[in-house]
């Protein structure tokens, strides 16, 4: 069955739907968990920025490549942060992580993009996955066997400014199309790493063959012609 | 005691952006008198030098400095063509002052660096690109992006200043006077420009000081641009990466090579990695998205250390107080405090 067949069929044939949830209701449930949800995506995003700054192999990644990497790593991060935590239940739905929060909402991590279908349309925030029947049911908030039996929401990220910035949103979809009904931009969150925390690293053997000038830019000493009091050295740092 | 140096009156006036007439009005003299003082045609009476010093906010000793001012012919600029003569005069005055201050400080403090600056003969080496490759070899820079251009310059004994050029359209100025063999090359870069532009500007100025000590027939600015491009993005290493260039790829390359997206596109075009049409298309895209004025993925500026450390050496090792140093540098104490921070023991160089 393809998408066009699907859209022509009477909606109630696909089983009952969850009640529509407003942005306020959804945010009320999720807000206490914003820091951990934020960190699930922003941690891997910061790593991706770091890799793209220092590793040539990450430079020629297109938007889709970055999204594949970021979604996969965000799921791994979410698993490590949330597995076994009270209030969270994690399971895989067709190789995608679904995070059930407080037995009330199922959260999925996805890339979202503003798209303009026709010149006269306003750009809308959309998912970009292929519309399989099960996928359509999932995002149309339908209840069915094999689908988590909770209202679903997207923990979405938008890749902005030539993939140099990211914006996190909570988005709600309740239609057979790919666009979302509403999206709430997640405000900046405090880091989960405690302030003042310093990771303890194992000592790394250092190459100390070079002289002092390799470790500093230059050294300064008193010039011979000076009539001032004798002075030592002030070292420039790297 | 030294005689009054007329050039220092010119410098003091130009640092304030004043004309002779405005200075004359400020000190209740007539313009012809100021003109005669500045040309050295007559001696400046002590009471007049006191008034001029007070009006210009400089210690009296400043006007007795024996130093020489260098004009535009001794300086290279990376600037916008619309820059007015008046704006350029103030910038030259600031540059001359900083150079003189540095040279005074370096009489007391000896800076030792691992590498050096060498003047290169571009005609023998063949091209600015070859000069840039030699420069990287001389400074033993590893392959890949130049990690820190300011650091490379300071490791070779050059001095870098981030200067408050204000709203003017100058990105950088450099000087390496031929008649001052003990003086290192000095680079002045606008303090408000982003890091990628700072790096390109400084590399461009390095190109000028190492290549342009002799008159050449070429376009000096174009040669310095080619030097900077090769210095920051060696063709052998980057050429393949510049194929199929798109804006997202340019943004990723920007964060890796630490040069602007515009510089990458220009370099790709120059190396033949993209066609004329691709080049024009990419620049149209940059304009449409507003990246010509504000690019994504800002690169943080690089901080110079040498001048700050030399001043600190005078303060900590030679035990000079604030009044000694401000007088020595020809600044009023108030100006000195503004420039180096309120807490003298932990001052900050702002220009």
ipTM of the complex, rounded to two decimals? 0.75
CB-based contact B238:B257 (threshold 8 Å): yes
Q: Encode B309-339: b = buried (16+ Cβ within 10 Å), e = exposed.
A: bbbbbbbebbebeeeebbbbbbbbeeebbeb
Six-digit token string for B143: 């392959």
A160 membership: H or E segment, kind and range: strand A152-160
Six-digit token string for A145: 């066997």
Phi, psi of A160 (to 5 degrees): -120, 165
Q: pTM score, two decimals? A: 0.81
* Tens digit of pLDDT at every position of chain B (351 positions): 568 999 999 999 999 999 999 999 999 999 999 999 999 999 999 999 999 999 999 999 999 999 888 875 556 666 665 678 888 888 889 888 988 988 888 888 889 999 999 999 888 899 999 999 999 999 999 999 999 999 999 999 999 998 877 766 678 888 887 777 778 899 989 888 999 999 999 999 999 999 988 777 788 889 999 999 999 999 999 999 999 999 999 999 999 999 999 999 999 999 999 999 999 999 999 999 999 989 999 999 999 999 889 988 988 888 888 888 888 999 888 888 777 654 444 444 433
Q: How far is B12 from chain A (nearest CA, A)?
A: 27
Reference A112, options A46, A61, A184; nearest CA is A184
Let me know the angle formed at the C-alpha of B300 by A156 and A196, rounded to the nearest 5 degrees.
Answer: 70
Nearest CB to A60 within list B249, B255, B310: B249
The confidence score (pLDDT) of residue A233 equals 39
Q: How far is B295 from chain A (nearest CA, A)?
A: 9
Interhelix angle B261-270/B276-288, nearest 10 degrees: 170
Residues A116-153: tens digit of each pLDDT: 888 888 899 999 888 888 888 889 999 887 788 899 99
**Mean pLDDT throughout A22-43?**
94
CB-based contact B67:B16 (threshold 8 Å): no
Give how far Cα B316 sits from Cα of A218, B311, B322, Å: 17, 9, 11
Nearest CB to A217 within list B155, B251, B253: B155
Which residue of chain B has the CA closest to A232? B317
Strand positions, DSSP E, B181-327: 186-190
> Which residues, 6 or more positions from B226, have their beta carbon under 8 angstroms from its beta carbon?
B127, B128, B129, B132, B207, B270
User: Would the CB atoms of B107 and A226 count as touching at under 8 Å?
Assistant: yes
User: Would the CB atoms of A54 and B256 count as touching at under 8 Å?
Assistant: yes
Reference B140, options A130, A211, A128; nearest CA is A211
Tokens 């405005």 found at: B22
Nearest CB to A220 within list B109, B155, B247: B109
The confidence score (pLDDT) of residue A165 equals 95
User: Would the CB atoms of B109 and A58 count as touching at under 8 Å?
Assistant: no
Strand partners, A107: A99, A153
Report how far Cα A33 is from the mean position of its chain's Cα atoms: 14
C-alpha–C-alpha distance, residues A64 and A110, integer Å? 12
C-alpha–C-alpha distance, residues A14 and B198, integer Å? 61
Tokens 């791994």 found at: A76
Q: How many CB atoms are located within 10 Å of the residue A96 CB?
A: 14
Reference B248, options B236, B265, B234; nearest CA is B265
Six-digit token string for B280: 């024009």
């Amino acid at each position: 069955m393809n998408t066009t067949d699907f859209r022509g069929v009477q909606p109630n044939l696909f089983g009952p739907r969850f009640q529509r949830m407003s942005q306020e209701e959804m945010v009320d449930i999720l807000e206490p968990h914003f820091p951990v949800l934020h960190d699930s995506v922003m941690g891997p995003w910061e790593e991706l920025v770091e890799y793209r700054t220092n590793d040539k192999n990450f430079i020629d990644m297109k938007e889709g490549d970055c999204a594949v990497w970021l979604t996969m790593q965000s799921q791994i991060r979410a698993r490590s942060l949330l597995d076994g935590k009270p209030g969270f239940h994690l399971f895989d739905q067709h190789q995608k992580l679904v995070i059930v929060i407080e037995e009330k909402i199922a959260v999925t991590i996805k890339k979202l993009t503003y798209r303009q279908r026709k010149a006269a349309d306003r750009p809308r925030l959309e998912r970009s996955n292929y519309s399989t029947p099960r996928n359509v049911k999932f995002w149309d908030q339908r209840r069915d066997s094999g689908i988590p039996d909770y209202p679903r929401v997207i923990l979405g990220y938008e890749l902005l400014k030539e993939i140099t910035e990211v914006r996190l949103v909570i988005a709600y979809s309740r239609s057979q199309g790919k666009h979302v009904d509403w999206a709430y931009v997640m405000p900046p969150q405090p880091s989960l790493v405690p302030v003042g925390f310093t990771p303890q690293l194992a000592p790394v053997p250092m190459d100390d063959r070079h002289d002092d000038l390799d470790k500093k830019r230059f050294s300064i000493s008193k010039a011979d012609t000076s009539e001032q009091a004798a002075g030592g050295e002030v070292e420039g740092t790297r | 005691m030294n005689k009054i140096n007329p050039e220092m009156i010119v410098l003091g006036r130009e640092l304030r952006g004043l004309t002779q007439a405005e200075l004359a009005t400020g000190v209740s003299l007539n313009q012809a008198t100021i003109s005669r003082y500045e040309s050295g045609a007559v001696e400046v009476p002590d009471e007049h030098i006191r008034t001029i010093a007070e009006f210009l906010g400089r210690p009296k000793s400043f006007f007795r400095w024996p130093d020489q001012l260098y004009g535009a012919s001794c300086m290279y600029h990376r600037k916008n063509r619309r820059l007015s003569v008046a704006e350029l005069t103030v910038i030259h005055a600031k540059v001359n002052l900083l150079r003189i201050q540095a040279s005074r400080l370096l009489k007391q403090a000896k800076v030792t660096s691992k590498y050096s600056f060498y003047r290169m003969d571009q005609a023998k080496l063949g091209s600015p690109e070859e000069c840039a490759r030699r420069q990287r070899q001389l400074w033993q820079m590893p392959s890949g992006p130049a990690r820190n251009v300011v650091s490379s310059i300071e490791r070779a004994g050059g001095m870098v200043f981030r200067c408050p050029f204000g709203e003017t359209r100058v990105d950088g100025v450099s000087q390496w006077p031929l008649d001052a063999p003990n003086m290192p090359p000095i680079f002045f870069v606008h303090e408000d420009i982003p890091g990628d532009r700072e790096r390109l500007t400084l590399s461009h100025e390095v190109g000028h000081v190492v290549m342009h000590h002799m008159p050449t027939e070429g376009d000096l600015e174009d040669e310095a641009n080619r030097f900077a491009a090769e210095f920051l993005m060696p063709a052998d290493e980057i050429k393949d990466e510049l194929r199929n260039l798109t804006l997202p790829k340019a943004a990723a390359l920007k964060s890796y090579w630490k040069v602007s997206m515009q510089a990458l596109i220009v370099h790709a075009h120059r190396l033949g990695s993209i066609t004329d049409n691709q080049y024009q298309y990419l620049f149209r895209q940059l304009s449409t998205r507003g990246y010509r004025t504000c690019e994504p993925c800002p690169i943080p500026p690089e901080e110079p250390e040498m001048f700050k450390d030399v001043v600190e050496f005078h303060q900590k090792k030679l035990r000079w107080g604030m009044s000694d140093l401000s007088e020595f540098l020809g600044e009023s104490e108030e100006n000195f405090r503004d420039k180096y921070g309120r807490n003298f023991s932990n001052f900050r160089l702002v220009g």
